[in-house]
């Protein structure tokens, strides 16, 4: 094996690449590069890739995960925000003909356009990435809400956030993020990743989470925007009852009796807390809000 084909994700190779290119980490971009090939292999395996599939990576860094994706998939597109990394990626990914790098902020890009241009001939694609902690939730929600033809999302994120995404009703981690992610996908934590396998070393452990995108949302709702508004209001203050949260964050304050009546009409005790409601119950609640036409606060 020639030097350029050696795995990037080793401490020695990573240091060599960074030194050769004079690269310094930008804290503001949450850059932490993985230096463990076994973990990368496990991530790729979780994504169920093969030579007939396409994959998008967000934040390829110096290409450690990217090269593993190139070996496993038919087509790879990596989206990188840091212009300083483009020449490094051009170098490290030079052995692979099935990859292209798009320079841009994934939160600003027209992803439907990127998908049309990059994945012509593919019905679906997967997203596999080591996401910066500070933009994890906005990126995931953009991928889910834009109804892109995604098969799986397999991402390494902060362990605490992964646990919140996959949490079940009635647990301390269950919240509006759990409901939002599970509305669109089946979520499972695939593995825990210690901070010690990154350079620089982050302050917390990571986890790999898999979101298998549902063909249709988990529950039927009359108005998706209202569903998420109800969920957000229900979790506004975790220690408050559902009645209190809805009354103060969704409805006008003078509608307490009407809110109690609405909840009881669909079999939900007004004294319950938001974290005890299932997706089905949130769908029932949101649909009833739409049907009754109760006055909402602005």
Residue ranges of the binding site: 32, 34, 59, 80, 105, 130
Those residues with Cβ within 8 angstroms of residue 106's Cβ, 6 or more apart along the chain or in another chain: 58, 59, 79, 81, 139, 142
Helix-, strand-, coil-residue percentages of the chain, each rounded to 5: 45, 20, 35
The Cα 191–Cα 155 span in angstroms is 11
* 9 closest CA partner among 71, 79, 98, 86: 71
- Provide the residue count of the chain: 298
Those residues with Cβ within 8 angstroms of residue 208's Cβ, 6 or more apart along the chain or in another chain: 42, 43, 46, 154, 155, 156, 162, 189, 190, 191, 193
Q: How far is CA 287 from CA 218, 233, 236, in A?
A: 14, 15, 20
Count of Cβ atoms closer than 10 Å to residue 16 Cβ: 14
Cβ-contact 201, 195 below 8 angstroms:
yes
DSSP codes of every residue in 42-109: HHHHHTT--TT-EEEEE--TTSHHHHHHHHH-SEEEEEE--GGGHHHHHHHTTT-SSEEEEES-TTTS
Q: Which residues are annotated as a binding site for S-adenosyl-L-methionine?
A: 32, 34, 59, 80, 105, 130
């Amino acid at each position: 094996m020639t030097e350029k084909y050696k795995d990037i994700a080793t401490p020695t190779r990573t240091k060599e690449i960074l030194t050769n290119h004079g690269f310094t980490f930008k804290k503001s971009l949450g850059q932490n590069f993985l230096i463990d090939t076994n973990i990368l292999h496990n991530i790729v395996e979780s994504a169920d890739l093969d030579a007939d599939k396409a994959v998008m990576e967000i934040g390829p860094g110096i290409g450690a995960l990217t090269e593993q994706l190139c070996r496993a998939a038919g087509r790879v597109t990596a989206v990188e925000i840091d212009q300083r990394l483009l020449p490094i990626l051009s170098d490290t990914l030079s052995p692979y003909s099935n990859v292209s790098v798009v320079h841009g902020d994934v939160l600003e890009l027209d992803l439907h356009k990127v998908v049309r241009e990059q994945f012509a001939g593919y019905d679906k694609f997967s997203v596999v990435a080591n996401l910066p902690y500070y933009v994890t939730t906005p990126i995931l929600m953009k991928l889910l809400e834009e109804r892109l033809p995604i098969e799986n999302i397999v991402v390494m994120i902060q362990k605490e956030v992964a646990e919140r995404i996959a949490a079940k009703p009635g647990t301390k981690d269950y919240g509006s993020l759990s409901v939002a992610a599970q509305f669109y996908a089946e979520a499972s934590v695939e593995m825990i990743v210690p901070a010690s396998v990154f350079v620089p070393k982050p302050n917390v452990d990571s986890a790999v989470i898999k979101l298998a995108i549902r063909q249709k949302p988990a529950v039927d709702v009359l108005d998706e925007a209202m569903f998420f508004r109800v969920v957000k209001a229900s979790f506004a203050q975790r220690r408050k009852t559902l009645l209190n949260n809805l009354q103060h964050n969704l409805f006008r304050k003078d509608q307490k009796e009407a809110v109690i009546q609405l909840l009881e009409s669909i079999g939900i005790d007004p004294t319950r807390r938001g974290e005890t409601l299932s997706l089905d119950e949130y769908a029932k609640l949101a649909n009833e809000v739409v049907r009754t036409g109760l006055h909402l606060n602005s």
